[in-house]
Structure 1
Amino acid sequence: MKIYTGTGDRGKTSLFSGERVSKSSLRIEAYGDLDELNSVMGAVAAALEPKHNDLKKEIQFVQGMLLDAGAWMATTPHAATTRFLKPFTEAPAKWLEDAIDRMNASLPELKQFILPGGHLSASLAHMARTVCRRTERRTISLVESDNDGAGETMVHILVFLNRLSDYLFVLARYCNHLSGQGDFLWEA
């Protein structure tokens, strides 16, 4: 299969639902940010030491959820192709909450702001968190601009993204914890 097709050479691309849109459309911007987030999360997993393979697999599981969300974002509301998509419910956000609680149980209570940094995996998790927040903002703009409003699936994706940024914050702290580093506290 050829990687290059040339069909996007004039600034247009095709959605999963078939429409041709500008590469600068809100929909493309939103799922482009989601793709960037997924890439940064891959870097987080790659930066983990081999002995943390379970955490690597957990991050890859989250990356799969991001691909599911991206498929929905690459499809216009009410398109016939939505029948081919995996349902996106409240379950991914709930799964993230459980993962946050599990990691948080082994971390010291946070009583002040921390500076992003520490182990490479933690630093990358902080980067992923900021990309996640941008993705969330861009997705809100997309939802607000859609004439159909926020369908139930997009509401679930927004909740998921909001919870994912919390997960990434705790993941960064957890990565530092696993590497034997404490948080870098901000001295105001």
Structure 2
Amino acid sequence: MSIITGRGDDGKTDLLFGRRTDKTGRRVEALGAVDELNSALGLARASGLEEGLEELVDEVQEKLVGLMGQLACLPEDAATYDEKGYAKVVEADVGWLEQQAGIYEDRGVRFKGWARPGAEHSVARAGLDLARSVARRAERRVWELHEQEGPLPQPVLLFFNRLSDLLWILARVDAEKLKH
């Protein structure tokens, strides 16, 4: 089966459970921002993250895949999504992000004045900053979807705020203290 199907040639795209929507819609904008975030995290990951951070980023990316599934599901199909047992972001995932932020923050965050991405001379850390800024955009798109098209689960709404804070910390924490 080819990836090229032509199904999107009419300006529509597929959601879960056979639903179609406009490519310019808020839901697709939110999905696109999360996809970009996942790609930015992949770039940071492939750029030589310090010991331990690659596993952390991998776990975040795994959670983002579940979250994208939630966003690709219209509210009227939420019960079917749950019945199928698909992955999703829950309160415990938000708590996990807070816990990780605390662990790394306790290892020593270094910065003076405004943070300047790339100042650490590390492509991986600059990648974390890029991912942080994309996480903020994803957060705005998800909140816009929530406000304009109906409620999204609270953990989905909070996830990006916590994630962007964690990514900011990871880009600033003393590299030597990451190894402990």
TM bracket (short chain) = 0.7 to 0.9
Aligned residue for 1:25?
25
Q: Displacement, 1:9?
A: 1.4
> How far off its partner does 1:58 sit?
1.1
Task: Give the deviation of 1:4 after TM superposition.
Answer: 1.4
Asked if the contact 1:116–1:126 (Cα under 8 Å) also holds between the matched residues in 2, the reply is: yes
Q: 2:57: which partner in 1?
A: 59
Distance 1:90 1:134 in 2: 21
Higher helix share: 2
Aligned to 1:142: 145
Alpha-carbon contact 1:140-1:158 (below 8 Å) kept: yes
Change (3 A) 1:2 1:110: same
SS in 2 for 1:21: strand
Question: In structure 2, how many angstroms separate the alpha carbons of the residues matched to 1:88 and 1:78?
Answer: 18
Q: 2 CA distance for matches of 1:171 and 1:21?
A: 36
Cα pair 1:37 1:128 within 8 Å, conserved: yes
Give the TM-score normalised by structure 1: 0.84
Number of residue pairs matched by the alignment: 172
AA aligned opposite 2:64: L
Match of 1:15 in 2: 15
Aligned to 1:92: 93
Q: 1:121 to 1:19 in 2, by over 3 A?
A: same
> What secondary structure sits across from 1:48 in the alignment?
coil
Amino acid of the structure 2 residue aligned with 1:13 = T
* Cα shift at 1:112: 3.2
Give the distance between the partners of 2:68 and 2:100, measured in 1 at CA: 22
Match in the other structure for 1:186? none
Uncovered stretches (5+) of structure 2, i.e. residues with no partner: none
Amino acid paired to 1:77: P
- Give 3-state SS (helix, strand or coil) of 1:13's partner: strand
What is the CA distance between 1:108 and its match in structure 2?
A: 4.1
Letter in 2 for 1:100: A
Contact kept in structure 2, 1:26 and 1:142, CA below 8 Å: yes
Q: Contact 2:109/2:172 (CA < 8 Å) preserved in 1? A: no
What percent of counterpart residues are identical? 36
* Matched residue, 2:131: 128
Aligned-residue RMSD, C-alpha: 1.9
Partner of 1:39: 39
Which residue does the alignment assign to 2:2?
2
Question: What is the TM-score normalised by the length of structure 2?
Answer: 0.88
Residues in 1 aligned to 2:103 and 2:132: alpha-carbon distance in whole angstroms: 18
Q: Does 1:78 align with 2:76?
A: yes
The 8 Å contact of residues 16 and 81 in structure 1, kept in 2 or not, is answered as: no
Please say if residues 7 and 13 of structure 1, whose CA atoms lie closer than 8 Å, have aligned partners that are also in contact.
yes
3-state SS of paired residue (1:106): coil
